[in-house]
Amino acid sequence: MEILTDIALRAHWFRSHEKAYHVSKDTMLTPAARDFIREHGITLIYEDSALEGQPEVEVSSVPESVKAVNQLPKKAAESADEHYKAMPMAAVPQGADHKPQYVNGETGEVLSVKPENMTHLHGNVLVPKTHPQIAFRGMLDSLEAKIMSLQVAASENGLHRLTDALDEVLAYVRQILSAEVLDKELGEIHLLGLDSAELRYESHHIKEIYGIPHPMPEYRMGRICIGLNELRTFVRETELAAARAFQSGDTCTRPDIVEAMNRLSSVIYILFCRQLTGRWPGQLETSETKDLPGFLVEASGRHVHLTQQAIDVLFGENLHEKSPLSQPGQYASEERVRLVTAKGEIDNVVVLGPPRGAVQVEMSLTDARILGITIPVNLSGDLKGAADVILVGPKGIYNAVGSVIASKAHIHMTPEDARLYGVEDGDSVAVRLETERPVTIDDVIIRVSEKFSLAMHMDYDEANACSYKKGDMGYIIKKN
C-alpha cells in the first residue's frame, strides 16, 4: 500500500499545475491530501500498482554481506519470524528508468538518489534530518528504548503488573508513531483501563486515590520508582518535541498527538504512584505475586535488653534514654556493655530500654563466630537454645545464661496494617528488598500489636548481603 500525502501533491502541483494525478489502485490518502485535492480541483487517476511489472533487482548488485544473510537456512529464518516482530517498510516508487523516485518536500524537486542529509517524511517525500517531525520521531524511538529498558528491570524484579502496564504504554507509543508517519488521526486514548479524562483526573487526585500527597522523588524509593520518574521526565521532553513539530503560527496541526503525549505523562506518573504505594486496581487478594504497599526496612545491630535486676548490677542506676527507636516507647540508652566469652569479646554494645522481663542479647551470626559461640535464629523473646555470655558493665558483671540469639527477620504491624496486607500475627511471608543489590528474604514473620509501628527488622548480616542503606523499602510478594 502507498500513502499519498499533501506534501507529495504540493510538489506535483507546483512543478506542473496539472489537474490529473496518477496513483496505484491501493493508494491511501491522508486527510490533508484529500483537502488539497478538493481545494485545487485535482482528479486522481487510479492505475495498476506502479511497482507491478518492474524487474527484480539483480543478485549481482546485492552486497555479499546481504547475500550471506539471505542464504540463512530456512528453519533459522522461520525461527526468527516466530520470535520477533518485523518493522514495517514502505516501498519507494520507481520511475520509467526503474530507478527510485524521491521528492524534495521543500522544493518539489524529483531526485533519483536520496541525499545523506535527508530522510523520508512520508512515503518518498524527503526532508532534512533536522526537520522537527523527524526530531519528534527520534524522541519517540528513544522513548520506546527507555520503556523497554525499565520493563526488563521490572520483569527481573518480579513486578508483573508494572511489566504488563509498560507493555501497554509501549504499544501506545508505537501507535502514536504510526499515526504520525502515516498522517492518520490518532484514536481515543485508553490506557490502564482509563480514558483521557479519567487519566487526567487520577493524576491530579493522588491523595484521594493512593492515600499519599503528590510524592517528591528521592533515591530511597528504589531503582524502579526512580526509573519511572526518569521515564516521566523523558515523556515530557518528547511532548515538547511534539509541540514544536506541529506548531504552525498560533495553530497546532496535530492536537491529537500533543494531547496523547500529555496523557502519556499522566500515565507514567500514575504508574509511579501505584508502584510506590503498591495500590494496583483490581489486584487479586489470593495472588502470590500481588503488589502491596512498601514499608521501611531497618537493620538492627547487636544490642542487649536487660531486666531491672541486671541494670542495677551492671550500672547501679536506671537507664538514661539517648534516642528513640522506630517502635513506640523503645529507645537506645546512654549505657553500653561488653560481651565476654571464653573465646572472645565485643565491646561497646548498646543497651535498649525500657527494662524487660528477661535478659536477651541479639547479634548476627558473624558476631557469634567472633565470640566462639553457636546461637539459634529465633524471634525476639524466644530464648529456646540461646547461648551464654557474660555482660560487663561499669559497676558489675552479670552472667547472662541462655540469653544470646540471632533475631529472625520480622515485620512489626498494627492490626490495621495487617488487614491491609491480608496477614495475621505469626504469618510467614516473602519480602523483596529494593536495595542496591535487591534480594528476596523468605520466612519473614509478621508481628502484630497496637503498640507497633510498620517496619521490617533484619540483622547486619542480611543488611550487608543486600547493600542496605537507611531508607530502603521492602515489599511483601508472597504469603507462605
HEC-encoded secondary structure of 72-88: CCHHHHHHHHHHCCCCC
What is the pLDDT of the chain when averaged over all its residues? Answer: 82
Res 91: pLDDT: 54
User: Which residues face 400 on adjacent strands?
Assistant: 389
Q: How far apart are CA 164 and CA 158, in angstroms?
A: 11
What pLDDT is attached to residue 400? 95
Angstrom distance (rounded) from CA 24 to CA 48: 5
> What pLDDT is recorded for position 312?
95
Mean pLDDT throughout 357-381?
A: 94
Running DSSP on this structure, what letter comes out for residue 130? T
Task: Locate the DSSP E strands across 78-171.
Answer: 102-104, 110-111, 118-122, 125-128
| pLDDT tens for each residue of 134-144 | 889 889 999 99
Q: Of all residues in the chain, what percent are helix, strand and coil, respectively (each to 5)?
A: 35, 25, 35
pLDDT value at 179 more than 70: yes
How far apart (Å, rounded) are the C-alpha atoms in residues 330 and 350? 13
- Say what the pLDDT of residue 477 is: 83
104 DSSP β-pair partners = 126
Q: Is it the case that residue 29 has pLDDT exceeding 80?
A: no
The three grid cell numbers given for residue 175, joined into one nine-digit string: 501507535
> Which of 453 and 104 is assigned the larger pLDDT?
453
pLDDT band at 36 (very low <50, low <70, confident <90, very high): confident
Q: Is the peptide bond before 215 cis (omega within 30 degrees of 0)?
A: no
- For residue 302, what is its C-alpha cell? 547487636
Tens of pLDDT along 284-337?
Answer: 343 444 456 788 899 999 999 999 999 999 999 999 999 999 888 999 999 999
Across 369-377, average pLDDT? 95
With CA atoms as reference, report the closest residue to 118 among 138, 98, 103, 97: 103
User: Exposure of 207 by Cβ count < 10 A (0-12 exposed, 13-18 middle, 19+ buried)?
Assistant: exposed
- How many percent of the chain have pLDDT more than 90? 42
Average of pLDDT values for 28-43? 73
Say how many Å lie between the first and final Cα of the chain, rounded: 56
CA distances from 420 to 8, 41, 278, 326, 414 (A): 61, 68, 11, 20, 10
Q: Dig out the grid coordinates for 1 from the structure.
A: 500500500
CA distance 105 to 119: 10
pLDDT 10s digits, 395-446: 999 999 999 999 999 999 999 888 888 889 999 999 988 888 888 999 999 9
The region of weakest confidence among 66-80, 108-122, 264-278 is 66-80
- E strand or H helix at 441, and its extent? strand 439-448
Helix (H) or strand (E) holding 410: strand 410-413
Over range 90-103, report the average pLDDT.
62
Q: What is the pLDDT of residue 96?
A: 61
402 close to 383: Cβ distance less than 8 angstroms: yes
Residue pointed to by grid coordinates 528521592: 218
Take residue 221 and report the three cell numbers written for it. Answer: 524509593
DSSP state of 277: H
